Structure 1
Amino acid sequence: MANPVANGVILAATISPVPAIILVCLRFFTARRILHVIHKDDWLILAAMVLSIGFSISECIQTRYGLGEHLPNVPESTITAYMLIGAWPTPITSYLATLFTKASILYFYLRFSTSRLFASAIYFVLFVVVGYCVLGATTALYACQPIAKFWIMSLEGNCIGASPIYTTLIALNVFTDGILLLLPFWILLPLKIALYQRLAIAGCLGAGGFVLAVSIYRLDIVLEGFNDPDFTYRHGINFMWSLIETNVAIVCACLPCLRAFVGYFWPSIFRIRNEPRALSSVSVSQPRRQPVGIASEEKSSNASISPIGPGWNRRGSERGQARSPGGEQAV
């Protein structure tokens, strides 16, 4: 009889990476062919995508050894293999995929840093992300003594409770998801931007809100299962949503970077108006099929693509900057 939870894990592992892979490919096409520059955050999201695929493979294999099944229905002969996968491939690929995804988003934000305080906030969040993801990826090294007791349950030794560990890790994941969702407002609030740009930003943040909602739901699953010994079944539900969360997060990380791609192939979507408050780095008369939002090299050597508006550049143009009365750069 088919197990719906195990089938759900397999579906999540095979379907959710597809849009993420497509968007990562489009991001690199944009960076290489349109912008002619590949940033550090692009390489980080590529690493996250590779690890996410590894996470999907690990979970598909783990379903063969009882993931998603109720524990009484799992043969004792498969428990060791199940726990061995849960000790190494699963946490390493899942937590490192999360680490590289969030690092990519943070380094992307750093490109548009407007103040030292904002940059400090980014590095603080990055420090938290690196810390809890490394702890999560290496749980098997410190959860049990001897280490092998983590996957050989009959071995003599001691283990600390798994639920408090994973509760703390997922809680930190929720915390950093919330911070990542709020950080863009630090940049956006002082700016006056067009309605279509606000709608695009709302769409990106809405997708990020879904990731946060999944993180909260996973935290609830762990909290409900504190005293539930049926861990193979609970893990199935948790990992199914974890796979979805990981790949949707990669999609969210790529969306702002595709503005130049859309502007290149559908330039009518982004019309740059010659307004007095526009930055001096914006090229108003764009050549045919030139990526919208990119200042020509003759105008500024520091031009960059922004997720929030055409031609917005945190350093400004070398030939002058238009500033709002509050001292912030205006769009």
Structure 2
Amino acid sequence: MSGTQAVVISMTFSAVALVFILLRCTSRIFFVGRVLKEDILICVAMVWSFGLSGAIEVERQNGMGEHISTVSPERFERMLQAFYASVIVYNLGLTFAKCSISCQFLSFFRERKYRITAWFLIGFFATYGLVTLMVSTLACTPVRYFWNRSIPGGKCIKFEIWWFFNAAVCIASDFVLCILPLPMLKTLNIPRKQKYSLLAVFAVGGFVCIVAILRLHAVYVISKSTDPTYDNVAAAYWSSIELNTGIICASMPTIRPIIARIFPVCFGSAPRRSTTETVPGHHSHQEATRPTQLTTRSTMDEMTFCTVHDVVKCHFDHDGSINDQSTNRSANNDV
């Protein structure tokens, strides 16, 4: 596969991920009324995704996809510089994406054990992200030795060991993020079609795990390669696919209000604007018939304080309202 194909794949997945980010922000602004911390984190991950695509393009310009025998030393050095940058932005993008997903779990889970798990994941991803940043940045001493092996006295870590270890951690964490919500999903008393739609969301999350495994194979190939400029193509585009698929999966649950307008049968009808507001009889007629603001905002804000069972009930409630009973129950479960 040529370097151009790797760039096309990377930019295509980045563009699709950007569409989901825009839909996510639209949903937050018009249905929630505010942007949450997990939205900021995933937007930062999107920035790193475009940085990764840019680095892959620079690699292509300097020999990626070509046989090393046809690449000049100057171009090969520039390609290694771009590769060095791509490793850093890839790890940063994954860190912010996984921290965003973990923050979403805090909004969904009210049971203590699940909230503790979510906080642990946030701490783990933040710490491990810092470790990967330091290792990726300081993999060689001096740093320039990464792309210029003519520097006397330079040395690097065992890249194969670090790459495989990092890939294994990424795969394991992907599985954790995928299966963590499933025990709560099994207990939900919602229509079968709506439960299947939720399962489809988590199934896409499982696709991220598959992509991570495919990337691991690409890393193995390049670790054994004698033609790194040619064999680096697969590792480049699988890295981009993994990062952007993670961004897409993190955004899918947040765009439900928009998708519900398109597929109301599967996702429940989108919340509607209330026409009148019932007030005590001593209020004026004008107050009694005053149109209310979009009910979705209070609904979505209150969803933050529901248990997982209530969250999905709120998601699929046809009139976009939350009854007092579920709200009181969630307050009792709050940590």
TM > 0.5: yes
**Which one of 249, 257, 262 corresponds to residue 260 of structure 1?**
257
**Which one of 104, 109, 123 corresponds to residue 105 of structure 2?**
109
Distance 1:62 1:138, change over 3 A: farther
Deviates more, 1:183-192 or 1:132-141: 132-141
What stretches of structure 2 of length at least 5 have no aligned partner? Answer: 276-294, 317-321
Q: Distance in 2 between matches of 1:212 and 1:153?
A: 35
**2:41–2:96 contact (8 Å) kept in structure 1:** yes
Within 5 Å, give how 1:152-163 maps onto structure 2: 152-156=148-152, 157-163=154-160
Partner of residue 120, structure 1:
116
Partner of residue 67, structure 2:
70
Partner of residue 200, structure 2:
203
Between the two proteins, what is the percent identity of the paired residues? 24
**1:48–1:96 contact (8 Å) kept in structure 2:** yes
- 1:70-125 Cα offsets, whole Å, 9 max, x none, are 322321121221122222x3123211111111111111111011322212222222
Partner of residue 312, structure 2:
309
**2:32–2:301 contact (8 Å) kept in structure 1:** no
Partner of residue 95, structure 2:
99
**Which one of 131, 134, 155 corresponds to residue 127 of structure 2?**
131
Q: Distance in 2 between matches of 1:265 and 1:216?
A: 34
Partner of residue 320, structure 1:
325
Structure with the bigger RCO (C-alpha within 8 Å, sep 6+) is 2
Deviates more, 1:253-262 or 1:70-79: 70-79
Q: Distance in 2 between matches of 1:301 and 1:228?
A: 52
Task: Give the count of matched residue pairs.
Answer: 303
Q: Distance in 2 between matches of 1:101 and 1:184?
A: 17
C-alpha root-mean-square deviation of aligned residues, in Å?
3.1
Q: Distance in 1 between matches of 2:303 and 2:136?
A: 46
Within 5 Å, give how 1:1-331 maps onto structure 2: 4-87=1-84, 89-156=85-152, 157-264=154-261, 267=264, 270-271=267-268, 287=274, 297=298, 302-304=302-304, 309-311=312-314, 319-321=324-326
Aligned-pair CA distance for 1:301:
7.2
**2:194–2:266 contact (8 Å) kept in structure 1:** no
- 1:180-227 Cα offsets, whole Å, 9 max, x none, are 101111331222222122221122122111111010111122234443
Which amino acid counterpart does residue 254 of structure 2 have in structure 1?
A: C
Q: Distance in 2 between matches of 1:92 and 1:296?
A: 38
After the TM superposition, which segments of 4 or more aligned residues of structure 1 sit over 4 Å from their partners?
A: 264-272, 294-297, 304-308
Residue 302 of structure 2 aligns to a residue in which SS?
coil
**1:105–1:253 contact (8 Å) kept in structure 2:** yes
What stretches of structure 1 of length at least 5 have no aligned partner? Answer: 273-282, 289-293
Q: Distance in 1 between matches of 2:45 and 2:300?
A: 32
Q: Distance in 2 between matches of 1:321 and 1:71?
A: 64
Q: More helix by proportion, 1 or 2?
A: 2
> Scaled by the length of structure 1, what TM-score is found?
0.81
Residue 196 of structure 2 aligns to a residue in which SS?
helix
Point out the structure with max Rg over C-alpha: 2
- 1:15-42 Cα offsets, whole Å, 9 max, x none, are 1112111111111111101221211111
